[in-house]
Amino acid sequence: MAAARRARAGGGGGAGPRFGRAAEPAPAVPQGLLRLARRSGQLNLAGRGLTHVPEHVWRINLDTPEEAQQNLSFGAADRWWEQTDLTKLILASNKLQSLSEDVQLLPALTMLDVHDNQLTSLPSALGQLENLQKLDVSHNQLRSLPEELLQLPRLRSLLVQHNQLSQLPEGLGQLLSLEELDVSNNQLTAIPSSFALLVNLVRLNLACNQLRELPADLSAMKSLRQLDCTKNYLETVPPKLATMASLEQLYLRKNKLRSLPEFPSCKLLKELHAGENQIEMLNAENLKQLSSLCVLELRDNKIKAVPEEITLLQKLERLDLANNDISRLPYTLGNLPQLKFLALEGNPLRAIRRDLLQKGTQELLKYLRSKIQDDAPGPNEEPPVTAMTLPSQSKVNIHAITTLKLLEYSDKQAAEIPEAVFDAVGSNPVATVNFSKNQLREIPPRLVELKDSVCDVSLGFNKISSISSELCLLQKLTHLDLRNNVLTALPEEMEALKRLHTINLAFNRFKVFPNVLYHLPALETILLSNNQVGSIDPVQLKGLDKLGTLDLQNNDLLQVPPELGNCENLRSLLLEGNPFRTPRAAVLAKGTAAVLEYLRSRIPS
């Protein structure tokens, strides 16, 4: 190598005269950076506003350095004729619309990173970079990948997420060395059958595409440990996938699954995420097979019951069953030895009071254990329930009103709440109101009659388009659930709800972050996912010093203000599914603390 460099430096037919052209403009890349690159073999040109890559970058291994033309004495560190070829080139976060075929002049490259540009295609010359091990072309505008890409025998990591790909090369399975493949956030409708040949693949991300099925051949990926199929249109999972013995993490969130897949051979499966589907039942046999499971996430489904066999998951640390239709839990759940997090909010639980849920997982498990002995009723026991028949043929549970302080009229598909429901309350204080899953178009006016005692109101899954003044008079309100309605705004009069600490506005039609929320000092949890919110005010959010959870997933945020990092009380900040470019998905995946730290680092000094 050194001899080759000396030959090039010796003149003759060399490239030295290229640097002698007086008319050539000043290079966009400082010579100091190029000198460092010749020593280290690495060149980082990220975030320099480049619209094209200067020719002398592609020719860094060929052209005689500028310092060689000058009369300098070289120290050991500056002996350019002994310096190394470029192995890593980072061109991320520029304005590149194309890459030159001259990329082939860098045959020693092991890593090429051009993510976050404006590339619409890739040069076929990439196929000549036979030493390339990592290629990151994510966050561009690619509509296809060149077939030449399949000629890279050493490629281990291929990142093409956040492009406009509608299909992948049929021969992608030729990349036998591939260990990581991310094709998420594209427009893929199918996966090439050749994927079955990727026997060394460890991580595969298919999230946020348009897949309606997975090929059974994926089961041939014997090394696969992480499979992410989030946010597609999957209705089933091929039974053969259950033979993937190395699988440790499986993400199936936001699909159309009606049942949990069976995993008889996935003995190493540690995390199963299947929230936001249409799962109605947990099969006891399925649960028995998941002996290594640490995380089971099933929130936002239609699960009605939890089988006793859940207690066979002895390694379970996190169980998320929020926002289902569960009315009763097996008390033996309290015996799970490793369980540290149990989410149950948004379920019509009969026997567990709201205040107990708020005390946290350990208190809840302690309560469940205490009830194990009391679970079996005596032979002649009848629950003390009386009911009052309404003209609508529905019933009001008087016992729930008098004993649990609960007024419930949910899942009736009613256009309005019958007068008899409120009449049944009488002089009894009601703490909790559940009118969810009806066809209500407005806040029931008689709700104001409960203002002296009610602290928890659920009006989710209705057709409410505006908030009336009656709701603003419920000044003892601490929990308000308005998800899955058609709200576009909140009235400023809601500022009177000084005790409100949890509000759920997910799945509405907000285009603007409701201004009144900035003026509710007790707020601890704001759930605003799946709306169309375009911006937030980090300065006003910082004023909510009790705010611990802020869910803004799946909105229209084009940027995340760095000042949001100053909201250091946030324990859970959820931002996935927005069109902003930074923070990157890799930062988001590290959790809230890492995101906040990243944002603070971006605040202009």
Q: What is the pLDDT of residue 360?
A: 83
DSSP state string for 114-176: --SS--S---GGGGG-TT--EEE--SS--S---GGGGG-TT--EEE--SS--S---GGGGG-T
> 226-256 as b/e, with b when 16 or more CB fall inside 10 Å?
bbbbbbbebeebbeebbbbeebbbbbbbbbe
- pLDDT band at 132; cut points 50, 70, 90: very high
C-alpha distances in angstroms, 449 versus 206, 390, 437, 445? Answer: 51, 20, 22, 9
Run of H or E residues at 456: strand 456-458
**Which two three-digit tokens encode residue 195?**
């994927």
Bridge-based pairing of strands 157-159 and 180-182 is parallel
Count CA atoms closer than 13 A to 589's CA, side-chain side. Answer: 4
pLDDT per position as a tens digit, 38-86: 989 999 999 999 999 999 999 998 887 765 555 454 554 455 556 789 9
The yes-or-no verdict on residue 378 having pLDDT over 70 is no
pLDDT per position as a tens digit, 165-217: 999 999 999 999 999 999 999 999 999 989 889 999 999 999 999 999 998 88
Matching fold, domains 280-373 and 398-601: yes
Reported CATH class of domain 398-601: alpha beta
**CA gap 239, 217 in Å, rounded:** 11
Run of H or E residues at 9: helix 2-9
Query: Could you confirm whether domain 280-373 is CATH 3.80.10.10?
Result: yes
Q: What is the pLDDT of residue 71?
A: 47
Residue with tokens 């928890």: 456
**Which two three-digit tokens encode residue 472?**
């603003």
The yes-or-no verdict on residue 19 having pLDDT over 80 is no
For residue 251, the cross-strand partners are 228, 273
Determine the straight-line distance between the first and last CA of the chain, rounded to whole angstroms: 45
Run of H or E residues at 288: helix 284-288
**CA gap 237, 166 in Å, rounded:** 22
Domain positions in the chain are 280-373, 398-601
**CA gap 24, 21 in Å, rounded:** 6
The answer to whether 407 and 432 have CB atoms below 8 angstroms apart is yes
pLDDT per position as a tens digit, 549-603: 999 999 999 999 999 999 988 989 999 989 888 898 888 888 899 999 999 998 8
**CA gap 291, 441 in Å, rounded:** 46
**CA gap 209, 185 in Å, rounded:** 6
The yes-or-no verdict on residue 130 having pLDDT over 70 is yes
Bridge-based pairing of strands 42-44 and 157-159 is unpaired
Residue with tokens 């192995």: 87
Angle ∠(337,343,345) on CA atoms, nearest 5:
145
**CA gap 516, 364 in Å, rounded:** 33
pLDDT per position as a tens digit, 414-431: 999 999 999 999 889 999
